[in-house]
Structure 1
Amino acid sequence: RPDLAAALRELRAQYEALAARNLQAAEDWYRARCARLHERAARSQEAVRASRREAGECRRQLQARLAEMESLRGAHQSLERQLQELEERHSAEAAGLQDTIGQLEDDLRNTKNEMAQHLREYQDLLNVKMALDIEIAAYRKLLEGEETLFNTGSVGLSAPNPLPNPTYSFQPRGFSSST
């Protein structure tokens, strides 16, 4: 029996040594595994922090772009309104100028008609003047002829020659434009 007790002690010592080694190996494995997990967790946390920073930066950029877009949209709308107002003002000015051109063309046409009427009247008056000048010249000749008869001493009872009949006719023109 002593052998059995010694064998049991030895067997127990071997199992305890084996258990201690296994326990040490399990603890080492557990510590290594924990260290790797902590390391991985730290890297993951850093990645999460970096992702959050990047997301925050993206959010800030998005907000800036949205604000810029709103500003540009407002400027665009303002420019569209200004363009429309400018087009309306230009259209009104063009219509006003068109009216002025029409009035000036009417005035020019009326002035030309008046000038044509004045020219016709002037021509009629010139014709009358020329006819009167001819008649005056005829009377002058007649008077000079009678004066010559009177100065020569021939007293006759015969009637003097009648005045030559001028060959003009005056017909004043009306304001009709029949040229």
Structure 2
Amino acid sequence: MPTSNSYQKFFLLDLKCMDLPFDVDNAALMRLDLERKVESLQEEINFLRKVHEEEQLAQQQVHIEMDVSKPDLTAALREIRIQYESMASNNMHETEEWYKSKFADLTDAAARNVEALRLAKQEANEYRRQLQTLTCDLESLRGLNETLERQLREMEDRYTIETANYQDTVVRLEEDIRNLKEEMARHLQEYQELLNVKLALDIEIATYRKLLEGEESR
């Protein structure tokens, strides 16, 4: 007959095979599997009890046919039956207690995994939100950078045009200054010539005046 140790070894072997990270679904599957195993053990115990009862009935029938002067065999069979039932009851109790303990452990592990999964999802959502925020900021900075680059190109183009205009203006002003200097030099020369003519005329007039004054004094 299977003992409680054999049941525990059987369950421990299954648990070692299932000793992997699991989520809530895996925990539920493990619970159902354990329930099926306990149910199978219960059916096995019931079957053994039934076989024992049938054997007991058969032994009772044999006992009726046997001589009443053999009580030792009946007592031995009764003792064996009592030991068998006690052992089966103890094995069943130990199996149920072990199952309850393992089920409680699995329930706690599932609860921890649920909490860990919830925290992981929460952290993932937070990272996703931060990523979306950074993506929006990056797109905004890219747009601002493109705007600044366009404004810079426009300013450079405008500066180039204005610089060319200033250079043209400087050339034109230098030309005007040169023309004004030439014209001023020409006016100064004409003015000097006019001064010379005026001086010659003044001398000539003064000479004539003296001549006239001399004629009048005679």
The TM-score, its normalising length taken from structure 1, stands at 0.76
Of 80, 85, 90, the residue aligned with 1:16 is 85
Structural mapping, 1:75-154, within 5 Å = 75-148=144-217, 151=218
Of 21, 30, 34, the residue aligned with 2:103 is 34
Aligned counterpart, 1:25? 94
C-alpha distance in 1 between matches for 2:125 and 2:74: 73
Structure 2, unaligned runs of 5 or more? 1-69
1:57 aligns to 2:126 (yes or no): yes
C-alpha distance in 1 between matches for 2:180 and 2:94: 124
| Distance apart, 1:147 and its partner CA | 4.3
C-alpha distance in 2 between matches for 1:9 and 1:80: 103
Computing the radius of gyration from Cα coordinates, the structure with the larger value is 1
SS at match of 1:21: helix
Aligned counterpart, 2:72? 3
Q: CA RMSD in A?
A: 1.7
| Distance apart, 1:146 and its partner CA | 4.2
Using the TM superposition, name which of 92-101 and 31-40 deviates more.
92-101
The TM-score, its normalising length taken from structure 2, stands at 0.63
* Structure number having the greater helix percentage: 2
The superposition leaves residues 105-156 of structure 1 with CA deviations (integer Å, 9 ceiling, x where unpaired) of 22122111111110111011101111121122223333444444xx3xxxxx
Of 98, 117, 129, the residue aligned with 1:48 is 117
Q: Aligned pairs, how many?
A: 149
